[in-house]
Structure 1
Amino acid sequence: MELRIFTEPQQGASYDDLLRVARTAEDAGYGAFFRSDHYLKMGSVDGLPGPTDAWITLAGLARETETIRLGTLVTAATFRHPGPLAISVAQVDRMSGGRVEFGLGSGWFEEEHTAYGLRFPPLGERFERYEEQLEIITGLWGTPVGETYSFDGKHYTLVDSPALPKPVQSPVPVVVGGTGAKRTPALAAKHATEFNLPFPTAELAAKQFERVDAACRAIGRDPATMTRSVALVACVGRDDAEVARRASAIGRDVSELKENGLAGTPAEVAERLARWRSETGISRAYLQFLDLSDLDHLELVAAEVAPRLRG
């Protein structure tokens, strides 16, 4: 199983904080550094110094890291127009030498939209825009150099776009996720290389992955070509006291984290991840580290959990 890092910088992190985490993750051997794409804090934290833009952050990290893959869980379709977003992601992919993975979602957090003057359409319209954005962005990237791309949809129209620049990767890995029973699996089957579920139960994950497999088969796609992944909060310590200290630092209860996330000693967490793998078929886990100042936490998991999951 591949372990990746997932951060929530809107809760309070500067670019320099994220750079330290990304470089630590790269040195420790994690497969990727991912971040959320939010403009407003959640909960009782102060969120200082304030939000950082996801794709500006990843552009900086593209030049200040060497091997680790970079991406979003997930960019909100409500934040950007698809044409400029395709340009931004392609540019960051080129800046990184082909290390970008593109997560896109419909957007859900209404308060951050009103806080920064962004329109927040009703759910049905958000999903329609999400569908069109995936079609446009992948269409722009897939258009051969020298040809043009046009799209006439309900919400977006492109006429004779030169569809430039091209990313290094062809195709760029696309991450889609969510718990919708029909439209989300169908959208993933059409466009995604990976289906991700944030903070699910194993039962919910197994059921949703089955729907994605069925959607793949319905269009003649081999379900084995879809990577399955989940995101889970990590709270790992060498002993119970260290686990409790780390849980307290993020304002969480150890027993709750053991139920809903990954909490315990390295052996306990590795055993839980192994159960996730056997029960749901995941091959990738995004570990959400909420205390970004605790770099020892990342190094501990890489040194003592990851080796137990190889093979």
Structure 2
Amino acid sequence: MRDFRFGFNFFDLPSRQEFVARCRTAERFGYDVALIPDHLGGPAPFPAMVAAAEATERLRVGPLVLNVGFWNPHLLAREVATADRLTDGRVELGLGAGHMKWEFDAAGLPWEPFGARVERLERTVEELTRLFSGPDYPQRAAVRELHDLAELKPVQRRGFGGFGPPLLIGGTSDRVLRLAARCADIIAYGGGLQMKGAEPGTFRLATAAEAEERVRFVRGLLGERADRVESSVLIQAVIVTGDRRAAAERLSAERMPFLTPEQVLETPFLLLGTHRQIADQLLERRERYGFSYITVHGPYMEALGPVIELLR
């Protein structure tokens, strides 16, 4: 069974000083990875990743997850290789198909059907693998030889067929999970399910039964890769309380009417209880679902911090 790893993400960037302080606080708690979502209005992923690594001694860094609809693969390969070199090989690259229609609209990008977005994700993985594994652009050969320039390639040789950083793919659909099972080093379960008939990007939280079905689906695809692939879960809220039932009732009534209090208590995408109870929940869920890489949204980073010590 895999050891736990813990990550946290950033919703905002109030100032350089506060960003650095959050990273260092997380490192003291024992977090392993600082993550940056790829959403309009939030921090730009790659500069923030490099800054997080620079501010800390050991935190790995990555996007959770890049919206591939925003990125040209050649430009993305340059960003990844640069960040991996500047962080001495601490990058973990998370990729996703994109799900917020309003962001495509605001950026003036076409909003494609889901199947087309998954195909773009698959092509991006293939193209990054080719760019990381192949020779530099032949058009640069003369200047590279003249000045003895190093090729811009990732430091790490773990993901992308052994030519790049670890690859994380996040999603819930059959098509995305099939791709992840085939080529990802980390498969991320975020727990958000598109609500039928609602605007794209309008989610409800998956139940324990739904999460178990998705995990079972992926396990059936992994085959001999099962022991080499890490399973990650994105925790949507951490509530430290001595009364789990009362907290679940409030969440169900105020924020998650699509879940009953019992479902709030059972879903693996929420953590409620004392620090000891939360630690026990994570142990049980690692056994049940295989979730060993635990990520929380930034506002809950400090709430989960004491649990990390209990599990190590």
Alignment TM class, shorter chain as reference = 0.7 to 0.9
What's the counterpart of residue 273 of structure 1? 282
What's the counterpart of residue 177 of structure 1? 170
Deviation of the 1:186 alpha carbon = 2.6
What's the counterpart of residue 6 of structure 1? 8
- Give the structure-1-normalised TM-score: 0.76
Report 1:84-99 matches (<5 A).
Answer: 84-99=75-90
- 8 Å contact 2:241–2:272 — kept in the other structure? no
CA RMSD across the alignment: 3.1
Q: Aligned to 1:9, what secondary structure does the other structure show?
A: coil
Deviation of the 1:193 alpha carbon = 0.4
Q: Which amino acid is the alignment partner of residue 152 of structure 2?
A: P
Deviation of the 1:37 alpha carbon = 1.0
- Are 1:231 and 2:237 an aligned pair? no
What's the counterpart of residue 198 of structure 2? none
CA displacement 1:139-161 (0-9 Å, x = unmatched): 22223xxx358xxxxxxxxx989
Which ranges of structure 1 fall in alignment gaps of 5 or more residues?
41-50, 150-158, 292-296
Q: CA 1:24/1:203 → structure 2, altered by over 3 Å: closer, same or farther?
A: same
Output the CA distance in 2 between the equivalents of 1:161 and 1:210: 47
Which ranges of structure 2 fall in alignment gaps of 5 or more residues?
142-149, 159-164, 192-205
Q: Which amino acid is the alignment partner of residue 222 of structure 1?
A: R
Deviation of the 1:27 alpha carbon = 2.0
User: Equivalent of 1:193, from 185, 191, 213?
Assistant: 185
- 8 Å contact 1:229–1:284 — kept in the other structure? yes
- 8 Å contact 1:66–1:96 — kept in the other structure? no
Q: Aligned to 1:100, what secondary structure does the other structure show?
A: coil
Output the CA distance in 1 between the equivalents of 2:183 and 2:14: 32
What's the counterpart of residue 272 of structure 2? 263
- 8 Å contact 1:2–1:30 — kept in the other structure? no
Deviation of the 1:263 alpha carbon = 1.9
What's the counterpart of residue 284 of structure 1? 293
- 8 Å contact 2:234–2:296 — kept in the other structure? yes
Q: Aligned to 1:103, what secondary structure does the other structure show?
A: strand
Output the CA distance in 2 between the equivalents of 1:301 and 1:214: 32
What's the counterpart of residue 165 of structure 1? 152
Across the two proteins, how many residue pairs are aligned to each other? 271
